[in-house]
Chain A
Amino acid sequence: MWLGPRLVILTQLMEDWENSSIGWGELTLFDLENRTRVDFRTPRTPNLVNARATARAELEAYYSDRLKVLRQLRN
């Protein structure tokens, strides 16, 4: 996600090494102009399974929308 011409955010899910049901989210802000990065972390959640499922649903919707466009362009 772009917050500006040279500011981009990447997110990810992180999983506790010793307990796979626990995890947290990370949001990294990259400043391409100043060439810096800052990683922010959410509080931990014991509900990583559902957080993962939600992320999956969001990504599936993301790709589904783009596949529709791709098919339209190719037809």
Chain B
Amino acid sequence: MADASRVGSSLGDGSALRVSRRLFIAGTRLGFIAALLVTAACGRRAPPVRTGAASDSLRVVAAAESALVAGASKLQWWVDRWSRFVPGFTLDSLQPARVGRLANPEGRVTSQWWQGELDRELFGESSPESGFIAHPDLARTYGGGGVELSPEPDSWAVLIDTKTDSVPLSSDAALCACSSGPCGWAPAS
């Protein structure tokens, strides 16, 4: 609890976030030049994200940072994880890397992921107002009543829209993986 309070407090003065925001503005002004210099990891290279006007991007980033501050206690487990590998890591250490707007659904849900509706809800995190289920990692094998993780954990998080049975959000890693072959869903038409 002490750690959670400290994180919230350290973010509360906003100084570090203002600094990161300034850096983000500078990055935005560099526009496509900066984008071309960014080297993403992987066959996990991130897809291009459209950026809007600098002021609009700044507003979106500021809102996101505020949301992180408000949710600091919920994120403490993740901060704790990274503080083990990045000395002194806090939420203040995060740098905005990309900003964009959500596009149309990225894919369709397939029954290969679950053995039924019950499984789907149990293995994900339902949204407070229902209608969506967030899954931490679909890069796993499910069968025989067990779950076997892939060699790359934490690499395929997705959000399921249960009303349309679509995948409006997925991690970049998933996009990379799916662009080169079958992996459980087909692009939305």
Contact = CB atoms under 8 A, between A and B. Distances in A.
B169 A8 contact: yes
A39 B136 CA distance: 16
Contacts of A23: 41
A40 B77 CA distance: 16
Interface stretch (B7-15, B29-37, B96-104, B178-186): B96-104
Contacts of B108: none
A29 B70 CA distance: 13
Contacts, number: 194
Q: How large is the interface on A (under 10, 10 to 19, 20 to 34, 35 or more residues)?
A: 35 or more
A56 B153 contact: yes
A3 B74 contact: yes
A2 to B, nearest CB: 6
Given A52-B153, A60-B149, A10 B134 contact: yes
A31 B65 CA distance: 12
Given A12-B173, A41-B97, A45-B85, A59 B153 contact: yes
14 contacts: A3-B67, A4-B128, A7-B67, A13-B155, A14-B40, A24-B41, A26-B172, A31-B64, A36-B101, A37-B100, A38-B98, A39-B46, A40-B96, A58-B81
Interface of A: 1-17, 23-32, 34-43, 45, 47-48, 50-52, 54-56, 58-60, 62-63, 66-67, 69-71, 73
